[in-house]
């Protein structure tokens, strides 16, 4: 059975791929986002970049990860342009309903 990411959330190491990099999606395609030591949200690309650029213990290095199952899109704080979309969308968003019908 697949790992239950809901109960093991926030542990960064579970989101590391075989190549040692932080992954974009967990099994099933669910999107992952990361938090650095200052609680900034990082998209997977920026999390990997930040890990490569900053020494261990630096506040900008990612320290936690989570799966974005449901809710509004999350913006990466690194540049406010990278969007992490939730797996099931935002149940409170009317725009999301329209979007679903469009596809």
Binding site for Zn ion (CB under 5 A): 43, 46, 76, 78, 82
Answer for the pair 35, 42: CB distance below 8 angstroms, yes or no: yes
CB closer to Zn ion, 76 vs 103: 76
CB closer to Zn ion, 78 vs 86: 78
Write down the least CB distance from residue 42 to Zn ion, Å.
6
Write down the least CB distance from residue 65 to Zn ion, Å.
14
In angstroms, the CA 93 to CA 5 distance is 25
């Amino acid at each position: 059975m697949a790992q239950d990411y809901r109960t093991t959330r926030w542990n960064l190491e579970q989101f590391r791929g075989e190549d040692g990099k932080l992954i974009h999606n967990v099994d099933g395609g669910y999107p992952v986002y990361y938090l650095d030591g200052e609680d900034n949200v990082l998209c997977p690309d920026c999390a990997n970049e930040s890990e490569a650029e900053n020494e261990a213990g630096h506040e900008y290095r990612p320290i936690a990860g989570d799966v974005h199952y449901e809710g509004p899109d999350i913006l990466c704080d690194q540049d406010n342009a990278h969007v992490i979309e939730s797996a099931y969308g935002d149940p409170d968003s009317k725009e999301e309903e329209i979007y679903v019908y469009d596809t």
